[in-house]
Amino acid sequence: MAVSPHPVRHRRRPRTRLRTVALVGIDGSGKTTQAHVLADSLAAAGLPAIYRRNAGGRRWFGRLATTLGRADGDALLGRRLMLLVESLLRWLAILRTLLRRSVTGEIAIMDRYAVCQYASLRAHGARPAAERRARLAYRLFPKPDVTFLLAVDPAVAYDRIERRGYDHEEMSYLRAATAAYEALPEHAGFVVVDANGTPEQVQQALLAHLQVPAPAVVPAPRRPGSLLATHARALLVTVATLAAAASALTYQLAEGF
């Protein structure tokens, strides 16, 4: 998918529009690093790209657990409750990202997406019913225009996480998570990028796939008069979605865990 700098008035409507790019993969694969750099690179090329994080709160609960003398979020809440909480928090984070995107017209460079939750459920040994329920809840969210799977050797990821120093993952979990991403039905649609190289090499691979900068694709120009209507629409969508979803989602997920 090619993208090019700021829209030019005399150009025809673009053939495709880049709206959302997701970076997914196991912990330590470099998602956060690459998503930040990619958003900066696209912004430097004149595109309205912004880094957005779709976190599930596992790290926050991990820190809380350590403070309270527990090993991690699983030890604090129990495996099933932690998965439920993670699924809920990530769902809300993705909703917030997409609503922001619909208001601002930005290109959202997303650090994790729905598929990360399916992989997490599998890697943490959740029952198939839990993934089915999660998929039901997350199907509200559109498929990103591009999903990059940062494929990394679990041993490389392990070393990076240890060097990062603020969390810890077991090798067995990193292997299980790798297998989970590979087994997802969405895997065939991923753009798999070798993430074992240097940050510069990985970034080059991402930019090469997006063909930045290139003239074929232009983000849709915003019509100035439509800004107020867009805000009102987004507010309406937010209130209605949150109200309807909060009860439905809690029910759906709780049933499955």
Ligand X SMILES: Nc1ncnc2c1ncn2[C@@H]1O[C@H](COP(=O)(O)OP(=O)(O)O)[C@@H](O)[C@H]1O
Rule CB under 6 A: which residues touch ligand X? 25, 27-33, 160, 163-164, 198-199, 202
Residue 29 · residue 205 · CB < 8 Å: no
Nearer to ligand X, 25 or 219 (CB): 25
Q: Distance between CA 240 and CA 243 in Å, rounded?
A: 5
Residue 29 beta carbon to Mg ion: minimum distance, rounded to whole angstroms: 9
Burial class (CB in 10 A: 0-12, 13-18, 19+), 225: exposed
Nearer to ligand X, 145 or 169 (CB): 169
# of chain residues touching Mg ion (CB under 5 A): 2
Q: Using the rule CB under 5 A, is 167 a contact of Mg ion? A: no
Residue keyed to tokens 């798999």: 192
Residue 42 · residue 3 · CB < 8 Å: yes
Residue 147 beta carbon to Mg ion: minimum distance, rounded to whole angstroms: 16
Nearer to Mg ion, 4 or 87 (CB): 87
Sheet containing 107-111, strands listed edge to edge, beginning at the edge strand earlier in sequence: 49-53, 107-111, 20-24, 146-151, 191-194
Residue 24 beta carbon to ligand X: minimum distance, rounded to whole angstroms: 9
Nearer to ligand X, 204 or 250 (CB): 204
Q: Which does 11 bind (CB under 5 to 8 A by kind): ligand X, Mg ion, none?
A: none
Residue 119 beta carbon to Mg ion: minimum distance, rounded to whole angstroms: 14
Q: Distance between CA 76 and CA 87 in Å, rounded?
A: 16
Q: Distance between CA 98 and CA 86 in Å, rounded?
A: 18
Residue 181 beta carbon to ligand X: minimum distance, rounded to whole angstroms: 12
Residue 102, both tokens: 């619909």
Nearer to ligand X, 85 or 202 (CB): 202
Q: Distance between CA 257 and CA 84 in Å, rounded?
A: 7
Nearer to Mg ion, 58 or 124 (CB): 58
Q: Show the site string, 14-53: x = touches Mg ion by CB under 5 A, - = not.
A: -----------------xx---------------------
**Residue ranges in the chain assigned as alpha helix (H):** 31-44, 58-67, 73-77, 79-104, 114-123, 128-138, 154-164, 171-183, 199-210, 227-256
Q: Which does 256 bind (CB under 5 to 8 A by kind): ligand X, Mg ion, none?
A: none
Residue 25 beta carbon to ligand X: minimum distance, rounded to whole angstroms: 6
Binding footprint of Mg ion on the chain (CB under 5 A): 31-32
